[in-house]
């Protein structure tokens, strides 16, 4: 599936000058401090955030508890998918876990650009497909793997997560309690 990111990047490199400048004209950089919220619950996700540097996460609250649903590193694209797609209030927050720099693209401007530049429509499809496969893979893990197996998967495939993100957040991302994660780590 990493190969699909390559495919997307390769595709972006083939974009013509006009398409590329159109895209740049509707994007702008912004910095956030550690702890800042890029998106709040109940807000409509009217922007996409491409992480240039730093770490961020997406999470929601269920009876007072924060459940992390996605972790973002450099070059990851952060949005609340359903809020962005349906332009309806978000169930999720997006939070900067460190100071971050992002490239922001507005939803509405991007919709208009897609109508004018079909290559952006194709790009949007690729991004949606990638996200679909990513979520499908995560669901697969919850459906069939134990907590220990899920932790080992992260440890092997995304060691940077374990190295940079607090265990409380990793535990909620794995869908287990902090104590259980600590015990799993104490073993292998």
Q: Is 178 in the site for its own copies (CB under 8 A)?
A: no
Cα-only R_g, the chain: 17
128 binds, among its own copies, DNA, none (CB under 5 to 8 A by kind): its own copies
Q: Is 148 in the site for DNA (CB under 7 A)?
A: yes
Helix (H) or strand (E) holding 27: strand 27-32
Of residues 113, 99, 93, the one with CA closest to residue 18: 113
Distance between CA atoms of residues 90 and 10, nearest Å = 32
Using the 8-state DSSP alphabet, how is residue 16 labeled? -
Q: Is 181 in the site for DNA (CB under 7 A)?
A: yes
Q: What is the nearest approach in angstroms of DNA to the Cβ of residue 170?
A: 8
69 binds, among DNA, its own copies, none (CB under 5 to 8 A by kind): its own copies
Q: What is the nearest approach in angstroms of DNA to the Cβ of residue 90?
A: 24
Q: Is 2 in the site for its own copies (CB under 8 A)?
A: no
Distance between CA atoms of residues 99 and 132, nearest Å = 28
With CB under 8 A as the contact rule, which of the stretches 37-45, 81-89, 95-103, 178-186 interacts with its own copies?
A: 81-89
Residue 32 vs 93, nearer CB to its own copies: 93
Distance between CA atoms of residues 57 and 115, nearest Å = 31
Of residues 140, 161, 128, the one with CA closest to residue 4: 128
Kindly list the residues in this chain that would bind DNA in the complex (CB under 7 A): 146-148, 166-168, 175-183, 185-186
């Amino acid at each position: 599936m990493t190969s699909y990111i390559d495919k997307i990047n390769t595709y972006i490199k083939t974009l013509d000058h006009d398409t590329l400048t159109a895209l740049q004209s509707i994007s702008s950089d912004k910095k956030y401090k550690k702890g800042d919220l890029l998106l709040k619950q109940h807000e409509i996700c009217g922007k996409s955030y491409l992480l240039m540097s730093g770490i961020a996460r997406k999470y929601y609250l269920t009876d007072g508890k924060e459940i992390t649903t996605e972790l973002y590193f450099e070059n990851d694209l952060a949005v609340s998918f359903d809020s962005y797609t349906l332009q309806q209030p978000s169930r999720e927050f997006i939070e900067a876990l460190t100071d971050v720099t992002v490239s922001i693209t507005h939803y509405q401007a991007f919709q208009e650009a897609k109508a004018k530049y079909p290559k952006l429509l194709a790009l949007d499809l690729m991004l949606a497909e990638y996200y679909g496969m990513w979520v499908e893979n995560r669901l697969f893990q919850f459906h069939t793997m134990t907590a220990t197996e899920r932790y080992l998967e992260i440890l092997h495939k995304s060691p940077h997560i374990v190295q940079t993100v607090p265990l409380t957040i990793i535990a909620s991302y794995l869908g287990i309690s902090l104590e259980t994660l600590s015990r799993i780590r104490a073993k292998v």
